[in-house]
Chain A
Amino acid sequence: QVQLQESGPGLVKPSQTLSLTCTVSGASVSSDDYYWSWIRQPPGKGLEWIGYIYYSGSTSTNPSLKSRLTLSVDTFKNQFSLMLTSVTAADTAVYYCARLGRQHGYSFDYWGQGTLVTVSS
């Protein structure tokens, strides 16, 4: 059974860096069939795709976040991570990690439960 679990601080100060990790079980981040993704949902708003990383380390990111975003993958720990720099209150959101598969129409077939990150001093 595939499971994803986000972890990281729930509170980040403005201008600092938001760091999250997603731990995957029941699947391998080294699989060439999937892209490992981040999606967020600000309070009261809709879902926004942040970006994904492939096992090789290649990435694709939302242009609106590109200059502040770093994605990484650790195949040994079966984890992938997100770093978002220079955060503001607009980055307050529930952050989800998810698996994106090619074979099912590029859909996000497994998600974590999400973690709320609040940007506040």
Chain B
Amino acid sequence: EDQVTQSPEALRLQEGESSSLNCSYTVSGLRGLFWYRQDPGKGPEFLFTLYSAGEEKEKERLKATLTKKESFLHITAPKPEDSATYLCAVQALEDTGRRALTFGSGTRLQVQP
């Protein structure tokens, strides 16, 4: 069974204090790993898709990296508006036709001014 574990569960940073969020996964053949951002009372918002080990994607202060066992979401010089829950999800090759994603429980990030 596919599994996604995110750590830490919660993270509090000062504005400008860089850090990384971890997503460890086990899947029977990875088709893609996805990062989403979720604000309170809203649905998840897509950030990145990574398809193969060594791949990196960047968007503003966020950078996602992928290895064969885990992904990191690096946050450089965060601002209070980066506060949200960050969700990681995987799609197995065998699930490609069914489009199913397996999500982790997320990391709640709070950035204080």
Q: A and B bound?
A: no
